[in-house]
Amino acid sequence: MAKKHKIEGDWPPSKRVRSDATVNDAEETVGITAYVSPDVQEFTCVFKQRYTDFLVNEISTDGSVLHLTDLSVPRSRVNEKANGKEKIEQQKELVEEVAEKQEKQENKDAPENVEISDKDKSSVQEIFGAETTEKILKLYAAILKAPNKKPRDHVSIKSPVISEKDKRTQAHIAVRKVFNSKLQTETLQDEVGVILIKAAPIHQKDGQKRNLNRDGAVSKGKLAWDELGGEFLHFTLYKENKDTMEVLYFIATQLRVAVKNFQFAGTKDRRGVTVQRIAVFRVHADRIASLNKVAKGWVASGFSYHKKGLELGELAGNEFTLTLRDCHFEDEEENRLETAKKVVAHATKSFESKGFLNYYGLQRFGTYSTGTHTTGMRMLQGDLEGAVDSILTYSPDVLSDESRKVPQEDIDRAKAIRTWRETGTVSYVPKRYQAEHSIMQYLSKKDKRSGTLVQANDYQGALMTIQRNLRMMYVHSYQSLVWNTIVGKRWEMYGDKVIEGDLVIVGEKEEQPAENQVEEVDEDGEPIFHPAEHDQAASAEDKFTRARPLSKAEAESGRFDIYDIVLPLPGFDVIYPSNAIGKFYEEFMGSEAGGGLDPHNMRRAWKDASLSGGYRKMMARASDVDAKVVAYSAETEQLVLTDLEKVRGRSLLDRDDNIVGDKIAVVVKFKLGSSQYATMALRELTRGGATAYKPDYSSR
């Protein structure tokens, strides 16, 4: 039987989110408390009642809004037109002949001795010591003598412990430069300060050592892809009521390629209609286009080849078109439509001009009885058993006999956890709950002979079974809790006034603007701004955007406004505001609600719980804001066309805006920057009156 873990009821009330909590209660729990425009009149509404009520179109880095524009099928590959067994056999013989000649020539040209300059050898010895340096030189010699030998067939070398971060950075750079990228390094996660040196992957020259593609024809390698435009196929993914990864897993399975070959700038909401750009390595367009005929709820189009893929955060933002249904306003008994238009016009004007506090939305903190921020807090406290327990909690109400609005997958999750706690058996867990399933399987492993549990207390090992991006989400969620709490306090104390000690990004409003640099993002696509250069433990070769505090004169100069101010996400490589807000970080994080943590001590022996931190703009402003009040009657009446409907030529019925129907909707359209939450924008626009639609699952 599995070891008994604490259940949801064992946690202090302050650490739980009640399953029946109102939106306002849930927001306050994660630090979402303040409004920029308290004078705006609240109006209530429901969003995402239909998934076509939530349209999201990605904005490219050039500022263009991505749309589904056509459904044309790309032409087949030239190689697919080649046929005949005789030709294929000739191609195979050619491949073998070229490979044999290349291998002989490379072995002939390989040097017998390895010589590096005394200066380079001295620099390597200074970092690794004489003994390790000799081992590295022998490995380098072996690689040069047998260039076609697989990297895994060479020995790997562990360095002595290197405690200083800047020295480890120098080590990575030195190995790469001195040994001409024939060696590669990586920092070991389970051995703090130790670097592994090993043979780098073999990179072939264009046109050499060619392989056969899946059709049996000769693949020209990179040269053939260059003729198309590049090795990465980019395409537009239009999806309805689907997760991004759900679609990509399906495509990857059908094409028999690894899902890791797919890249995107950001994930999109499930309950909505979204359009985004996807990149995949070395897949031809017609193969993906052929899946459109079996696709359910998605379409791929707009294919083009590029030399580079996509990275998280490589977008300017998103354009939202939201239908807010069942809207109600104060004093709406008479002239309902006119009252609605007046309230919405005032709210929209204030929203566009003043913006909103750039809170992390509720989706950042999970949807279960114990929030993801609590799990992250436990990890940072070193209470890994508590972190595991917090993941494996559920509200007893989920399994009650009462008729409740609970999705079947949530019920299955709760049943699986209960069964495991009582019997030690891992039963069916829905695929989307990878973390719960992985932990229960790991902790339940038994010795084959004795039948005893062999790793029931290895909580770090259990957490390590969770996919890294998901695992990091927990500690990032704690950072988000702190950030939300701090920004509310900052607004309460100073409002939109810039004060001495506030932090800004170096180069944004300097007399000498910083050079354009690619924005760095974390695992969730959140922009990362690094601290002041003198405070950053990094090499001189690193070039990142920095943050710095404002002097009293700068704060009073009028050159900086509230939209320039950033607040740090706690970590060991950030600076904190040099004013009362900096002190509040210490006060909140040191409290029970903040986990009793020290913002100036964020390094941990476990790498995944050791946070470097980052910065986030305090305020956000939507652009191109437009709102329209619409009267409607039927709940199923669609008020906005999707991209797919537009391409297929569908049109909405003409309506007279002066006719009052049974219900009132507001169709609002706006653009937000990367990592800004539409739910937080709606919160400001409606003064907290927007509620996400909850499907009725009571008929299960």
Model confidence band, residue 693 (pLDDT cutoffs 50, 70, 90): confident
Model confidence band, residue 643 (pLDDT cutoffs 50, 70, 90): very high
Co-location of 117 and 197 in the same domain: yes
- Other Cβ atoms less than 10 A from the Cβ of 221: the count is 19
- Compute the distance between CA of residue 232 and CA of residue 221 in angstroms, rounded to an integer: 13
- Compute the distance between CA of residue 546 and CA of residue 573 in angstroms, rounded to an integer: 11
Query: DSSP class of residue 33?
Result: -
pTM greater than 0.75: no
Whether 586 maps to a domain, the answer reads yes
Mean pLDDT of the region 620-633: 94
Six-digit token pair at 119?
């200066």
Model confidence band, residue 462 (pLDDT cutoffs 50, 70, 90): very high
**pLDDT of the residue at 428:** 85
**pLDDT of the residue at 307:** 93
pLDDT digits (tens, 9 = 90+) for 518-528: 445 544 445 54
pLDDT at 139 over 60: yes
Q: Which phi and psi angles does 92 have, rounded to 5°? A: -65, -40
Mean pLDDT of the region 393-405: 75
Whether 33 maps to a domain, the answer reads no
Burial 408-444 (b: 16+ CB within 10 A, else e): eebbbbbbbbbbbbeebebeebbeebebbbbbbebbb
Whether 228 maps to a domain, the answer reads yes
Of 448, 469, 490, the position where a domain reaches its end is: 469
**pLDDT of the residue at 515:** 43
Whether 78 maps to a domain, the answer reads no
Whether 2 maps to a domain, the answer reads no
Co-location of 423 and 480 in the same domain: no
Of 620, 638, 657, the position where a domain reaches its end is: 620
Model confidence band, residue 3 (pLDDT cutoffs 50, 70, 90): very low
Of 597, 620, 643, the position where a domain reaches its end is: 620
> Looking at per-residue confidence, does 333 or 353 come out higher?
353
Beta strand pairing call for 503-505 and 547-549: antiparallel
For the ranges 92-106, 156-170, 318-332, which has the lowest average pLDDT? Answer: 92-106
Residue 370, domain extent? 8-21+364-469
Co-location of 91 and 184 in the same domain: yes
Co-location of 240 and 227 in the same domain: yes
Model confidence band, residue 8 (pLDDT cutoffs 50, 70, 90): very low
Co-location of 587 and 677 in the same domain: no
E strands, 559-618, are 566-569, 614-617
Co-location of 206 and 231 in the same domain: no
Q: Residue 473 to residues 374, 479, 520, 524: CA-CA distances in angstroms?
A: 11, 10, 17, 8
Q: Which phi and psi angles does 512 have, rounded to 5°? A: -110, 95
Six-digit token pair at 191?
């051995």
pLDDT digits (tens, 9 = 90+) for 150-192: 888 899 999 998 878 778 888 998 898 899 888 999 888 777 7
> Looking at per-residue confidence, does 110 or 129 come out higher?
129
Whether 688 maps to a domain, the answer reads yes
> Looking at per-residue confidence, does 443 or 533 come out higher?
443
Q: Which phi and psi angles does 424 have, rounded to 5°? A: 80, 5
**pLDDT of the residue at 532:** 39
Co-location of 351 and 282 in the same domain: no
Q: Are the CB atoms for 54 and 679 separated by under 8 Å?
A: no
For the ranges 66-75, 401-410, 454-463, 605-614, which has the lowest average pLDDT? Answer: 401-410
**pLDDT of the residue at 344:** 95
Co-location of 204 and 96 in the same domain: yes
SS3 139: helix
| H or E element that contains 78 | helix 78-81
Co-location of 642 and 616 in the same domain: no
pLDDT at 431 over 80: no
- Compute the distance between CA of residue 531 and CA of residue 535 in angstroms, rounded to an integer: 6
- Compute the distance between CA of residue 279 and CA of residue 270 in angstroms, rounded to an integer: 20
pLDDT digits (tens, 9 = 90+) for 202-257: 764 433 444 445 444 445 567 788 888 999 999 999 999 998 988 999 999 999 99
> Looking at per-residue confidence, does 496 or 661 come out higher?
496
Q: Residue 248 maps to which CATH number?
A: 3.30.70.3160
- Compute the distance between CA of residue 300 and CA of residue 650 in angstroms, rounded to an integer: 19
Co-location of 296 and 346 in the same domain: no
Mean pLDDT of the region 624-633: 94
Whether 314 maps to a domain, the answer reads no
**pLDDT of the residue at 221:** 65
pLDDT at 79 over 90: no
Mean pLDDT of the region 116-145: 90
Co-location of 589 and 484 in the same domain: yes
Q: What is the mean pLDDT of the chain?
A: 83
**pLDDT of the residue at 100:** 55
Comparing CA positions, the residue from 462, 343, 258 lying closest to residue 39 is: 343
Whether 34 maps to a domain, the answer reads no
Co-location of 488 and 606 in the same domain: yes
Burial 334-345 (b: 16+ CB within 10 A, else e): eebbebbbebbe
SS3 427: coil
Structural domains counted in the chain: 5
**pLDDT of the residue at 17:** 37
